Amino acid sequence: MYGRNFDKYERKYFPKNEKPGDLCERIKKIITKTGLHSSVVEYGAFNKMMGFAAIAAGDEKKAVNHLIESHAVLHRQQVNLRYKKTEIRDNCGYTYKFGVNPSHLKFNVDCQEDSQSLESKLAELPREWYMVQLTQPYKPCKWLPEASNSVHPLHLTVLPTGPKAIAPFTITVPAPDNSMYDLCADVKNLLDTNKSSLQAEYGNHSMYWKMRQKQNNRMMTAVKEMEYNWLREWRLLLIADSLENSDDTREMIGIVDKLIADDRSLTPLSPKTVWLLRKVSTTAGYLSKTEIARLITVILPDNKKLASNLILSIVSKSKTATKLRQEKRKTTVLIVDEEIDYLPLEAMEILQDHPVTRFPSLHVAYAMFKEHEESIVEGCKVMVINEESGMGIVNPSNNLPKMEKRLRIFMDYWLPKWRTIYNALPEEEGLANAFVNALVNHEIMMYNGHGSGIQYLPGEKIEKLRVRAAVLLFGCGSVKLVPIGGRFPPYGVSNQYLTACSPCTLGMNWEVTDLDTDRMTSCFISTWIPSKAEKSWNYIDFEKWSNGTLEFKSNLERGKKEQFNDTTSPFFEPEMLRAVAISKKVCLQFMTKAAIVVRGLPVKVKWNE
């Protein structure tokens, strides 16, 4: 019922006089007859077509399965290839294995109930995750510039996790009806010119800062367009549930449940419908009255009386609903289609204050969960750390002296026992070996330099490691998925870190400037990683530190010590994703804030003296 809001799209791309169910079956026969393997690029497009056809035929279960199967086809095949190489090496006497076990990537796309089914895999995943998949629908000739750069409909697939969750479902959001502004085209144009704009020479500082402000304004406009005119009221599907239901949450859910129980309609509501109505009530603080009314009217098209009662009751509780915006929420796990990974989803108002991570596909998310399952507690991979658990590589190119000076001051003060390498390495150790040491023998690896560091340790070598560290890449475009060209999907070094089983990778989705990034880096590290420093980094005088001087604000009580290994400190946040959300607020440029992305598992540190 909710998927029928893409009629224009359906008429444009659906063959005339073709029944959706028949088309789906014909595509499956083609795949079977030709022996089309998942390594073939067209396999992803075929699954999008079958998902689209299943939606049109009203078979939601089949639609969800095929939309999931359409994601990260090339990456999954590369994981298989890498693991096969380890097996070949094993036969030749090499015992060291690396890479994600491809058996965890297996998925029964035919909706059969077994250990490989979607429901069984989702039931294994932590209840503390709130998982949503965003899929660009099938589009003929999508690799052509005029097709790939324009805004389009969007499949939002909700994937509830845990043993007692409802069945997954999908809703198709139409393209925004705004012929005057195309947010996808504008964001791509902005990102394509971002690097040249930052590197250009300007006659004076005023001209440079006007350019930066123009960039910020364009990105903010695009984010608002995405949130309020593209996703519209369906953005509520991206808002994670409360981690634990408060009294206010229970009150809002109780209102919905009572009205449903009192309804005298002979037609019982499906679990999906009840879930959606509860979702509207608990996220009403993010929605306008008009949006609440539109949602409930669409969810209950055949029960106007119940819909009217629900609208009036939820709107009347606006104060309670607004308070729910402050609830501590589950981790939002976004499964993002590689074709739309450039979009700054985390910068939306509904996500900016909450923990968010990305995966390219559910297959990869499940595989990473299985690889680290023994150390995952309450939805987070727990890393036990001490004062020497991390390693930093700063300014290896030796041409970022101001950044190096700032970070040297910070690291010497906050993490003096980390092994941090600046601008030059010992003669006996190459830079590639330093990277390997940081990735394999430490819990945290921090890189502050140009790009992602693959100029020192290529991605092909990363894949041959069993990466232990959470990887922090504070360089320009360090986790960007780069368009390869033709029909192939975008690809980036973050995929190679996932292949090497790294728990997670933090980085930038496009080019950023060093000062703003350094502010975020110091705030994030000092919030997430405990220290025995005497004073909290929250009291640093950022202006003086930016110019290379360590000085704290005078209003800090002298002599007072704040031991950050004491987890009761108000500034300590052991969950990495929550610390990232906090630290983004110190960014002075919206372009920097919107560029920060985490890919991989939620991670939590546990201090060990």
Encode pLDDT of 1-34 as tens digits: 444 444 555 555 555 555 666 666 766 666 666 6
pLDDT at 3: 44
Asked if pLDDT for residue 598 goes beyond 90, the answer is yes
- 214-228, 272-286, 373-387, 547-561: which has the minimum mean pLDDT? 547-561
Which sign does the torsion angle of CA 364, 368, 371, 377 carry?
Answer: negative
Q: Residue 256: exposed, middle, or buried by beta-carbon count in 10 A (0-12, 13-18, 19+)? A: buried
Q: Could you give the C-alpha distances from 269 to 22, 34, 280, 596, in angstroms and in order?
A: 29, 43, 15, 41
Are β-strands 390-394 and 444-448 bridged in parallel, bridged antiparallel, or unpaired? parallel
pLDDT at 565: 42
Can you tell me the distance from the alpha carbon of 333 to that of 340, in angstroms, rounded to the nearest whole number?
A: 16
Asked if pLDDT for residue 399 goes beyond 80, the answer is yes
The DSSP element (H or E) to which 604 belongs, if any, is strand 603-607
Closest by CA position to 392, among listed 416, 363, 374:
416
DSSP 74-111: HHHHHHHHHHHHHHHHHHTT-----S--GGGG---TT-
pLDDT at 156: 98
- 163-167, 181-185, 484-488, 492-496: which has the minimum mean pLDDT? 484-488
pLDDT at 483: 86
pLDDT at 130: 98
Residue length of the chain: 609
Can you tell me the distance from the alpha carbon of 230 to that of 227, in angstroms, rounded to the nearest whole number?
A: 6
Structure tokens at 543: 């202006």
Residue 81 binned pLDDT confidence (cut-offs 50, 70, 90)? confident
- CA geometry: angle 483, 487, 493, nearest 5 deg: 35
Structure tokens at 406: 């700032």
Can you tell me the distance from the alpha carbon of 520 to that of 448, in angstroms, rounded to the nearest whole number?
A: 12
pLDDT in tens, 153-211: 999 999 999 998 999 999 999 998 877 899 999 999 999 999 999 999 999 999 999 99
Q: Could you give the C-alpha distances from 375 to 338, 372, 602, 606, in angstroms and in order?
A: 28, 6, 12, 12
pLDDT at 136: 94
pTM (predicted TM-score): 0.92
pLDDT at 43: 85
pLDDT at 33: 61
pLDDT at 108: 79
Residue 256 in contact with residue 277, Cβ under 8 Å? yes
pLDDT at 595: 98
What value does the mean pLDDT take over residues 63-75? 93
Query: What SS3 state is found at 158?
Result: strand
Estimate the crossing angle of helix 20-34 against helix 42-57, to 10 degrees.
Answer: 150
Residues sharing a CB contact under 8 Å with residue 408, sequence separation 6 or more, in sequence order:
394, 420, 422
Asked if pLDDT for residue 63 goes beyond 70, the answer is yes
Q: Could you give the C-alpha distances from 125 to 165, 252, 329, 351, in angstroms and in order?
A: 11, 27, 17, 21
Can you tell me the distance from the alpha carbon of 321 to that of 283, in angstroms, rounded to the nearest whole number?
A: 7
Q: Tell me the CA end-to-end span of the chain in Å, nearest whole number.
A: 56
CA 155 to chain CA mean position, Å: 16
pLDDT in tens, 323-358: 999 999 999 999 999 999 999 999 999 999 999 999
pLDDT at 1: 42
Whole-number average pLDDT of the chain: 89
DSSP 238-267: GSPPBSS--HHHHHHHHHHHHHHHH---SS
Residue 441 in contact with residue 467, Cβ under 8 Å? no
CATH topology of domain 376-607: Rossmann fold (3.40.50)
Select the more confidently predicted residue: 109 or 528. 528
pLDDT at 88: 77
Residue 71 in contact with residue 44, Cβ under 8 Å? yes
What value does the mean pLDDT take over residues 442-461? 95
pLDDT in tens, 115-159: 678 999 999 999 999 999 999 998 776 545 445 568 889 999 999
The DSSP element (H or E) to which 221 belongs, if any, is helix 205-225
Select the more confidently predicted residue: 587 or 78. 587
Percent of all residues in the chain with a pLDDT value above 90, rounded to a whole number:
72
pLDDT at 232: 95
Estimate the crossing angle of helix 271-282 against helix 304-316, to 10 degrees.
Answer: 30
User: Domain spans of the chain?
Assistant: 3-70+106-173, 183-236, 245-326, 376-607
